[in-house]
Amino acid sequence: MQYEYTRKNYFKEADEAELKAIFDYAEGYKDFLFTSKTERGSCATAVKLCNERGYKPYMFGDSVKPGDKLYFVNRDKNIFIIRIGTNDIAEHGIKIMAAHVDSPRLDLKPNPLYEDAGLAFLKTHYYGGIKKYQWPTIPLALQGVVVLSGGKRVEVNVGDDEGDPIFYITDLLPHLSQEQNEQKLGKAIAGESLNAIVGSIADGGEEGEGIKSAVLRLLHDKYGMTEIDFQTSELCFVPAGRPRDVGFDRALISAYGHDDKVCAYPEMTALFEGDGKDTVMAIFADKEETGSQGVTGMQSRVIMDLIDSISRSLGADPILVRYKSKCISADVCAAYDPEYSSVYEKRNSSFISCGASVTKYHGARGKSSTNDASAEMVGYVRDALEENGVVYQTGELGKVDAGGGGTVAMFIANLGIDTLDMGVPVLSMHAPYEIISKADLYSMHRAMLAFVNKH
Ligand code: MN
Ligand code: MN
Alpha carbon of 45 to ligand 2 centroid (Å): 20
Alpha carbon of 433 to ligand 2 centroid (Å): 13
Give the start-to-end residue ranges of the domains of the chain. 10-103+256-452, 105-239
Give the integer Cα–Cα distance in Å for 68 and 82: 8
How far the first Cα of the chain sits from its last, in Å, is 27
pLDDT in tens, 318-361: 999 999 999 999 999 999 999 999 999 999 999 999 999 999 99
Class of the CATH-defined domain 105-239: mainly beta
Which ligand is nearest to the Cα of residue 331, counting in written order? 1
Which ligand is nearest to the Cα of residue 104, counting in written order? 2
Alpha carbon of 260 to ligand 2 centroid (Å): 7
* Predicted local confidence at residue 398, as pLDDT: 83
Backbone angles phi, psi at 2, to 5 degrees: -95, 105
Give the integer Cα–Cα distance in Å for 289 and 129: 7
From edge to edge, which strands make up the β-sheet containing 434-437?
Answer: 244-246, 252-255, 434-437
pLDDT in tens, 386-423: 999 999 999 988 889 888 888 999 999 999 999 999 99
* Predicted local confidence at residue 428, as pLDDT: 98
Alpha carbon of 220 to ligand 2 centroid (Å): 35
Q: Determine which helix (DSSP H) or strand (DSSP E) holds 1, and give its type and residue range.
A: none
Region of poorest pLDDT, from 265-269, 274-278, 396-400, 434-438: 396-400
Nearest to 28 by CA among 247, 275, 270: 270
Give the integer Cα–Cα distance in Å for 64 and 50: 17
* DSSP code for 162: T
DSSP per residue over 257-275, as a string? THHHHHHHHHHHHHHHHS-
pLDDT in tens, 281-321: 999 999 999 999 999 999 999 999 999 999 999 999 999 99
From edge to edge, which strands make up the β-sheet containing 195-199?
Answer: 153-158, 140-147, 233-239, 105-116, 119-127, 195-199
Q: Determine which helix (DSSP H) or strand (DSSP E) holds 42, and give its type and residue range.
A: helix 39-52
Q: Do domains 10-103+256-452 and 105-239 have the same CATH topology?
A: no
pLDDT in tens, 115-165: 999 999 999 999 999 999 999 999 999 999 999 999 999 999 999 999 999
Q: Are 29 and 258 in contact (CB under 8 A)?
A: no
Nearest to 233 by CA among 154, 287, 140, 124: 154
Alpha carbon of 150 to ligand 2 centroid (Å): 35
Please give the mean pLDDT across all residues of the chain: 96
Question: How many Cα neighbours within 13 Å face the side chain of 236?
Answer: 19
Alpha carbon of 432 to ligand 2 centroid (Å): 12
Give the integer Cα–Cα distance in Å for 126 and 102: 13
Task: Indicate whether 208 pLDDT > 60.
Answer: no
Look up the CATH superfamily of 10-103+256-452. Zn peptidases (3.40.630.10)
* Predicted local confidence at residue 207, as pLDDT: 53
* Predicted local confidence at residue 434, as pLDDT: 98
Percent of the chain with pLDDT over 70: 99
Q: Determine which helix (DSSP H) or strand (DSSP E) holds 398, and give its type and residue range.
A: none
Residues with CB under 5 Å of ion ligand 2 are 259
Task: Indicate whether 440 pLDDT > 70.
Answer: yes
Alpha carbon of 329 to ligand 1 centroid (Å): 10
Which ligand is nearest to the Cα of residue 332, counting in written order? 1
Give the integer Cα–Cα distance in Å for 203 and 197: 17
- Helix ranges (H only) for 250-373 are 258-273, 302-313, 318-324
Percent of the chain with pLDDT over 90: 93
pLDDT in tens, 53-67: 999 999 999 999 999
* Predicted local confidence at residue 44, as pLDDT: 98
Alpha carbon of 430 to ligand 1 centroid (Å): 9
Alpha carbon of 357 to ligand 2 centroid (Å): 16
Task: Indicate whether 205 pLDDT > 60.
Answer: no
Backbone angles phi, psi at 18, to 5 degrees: -75, -35
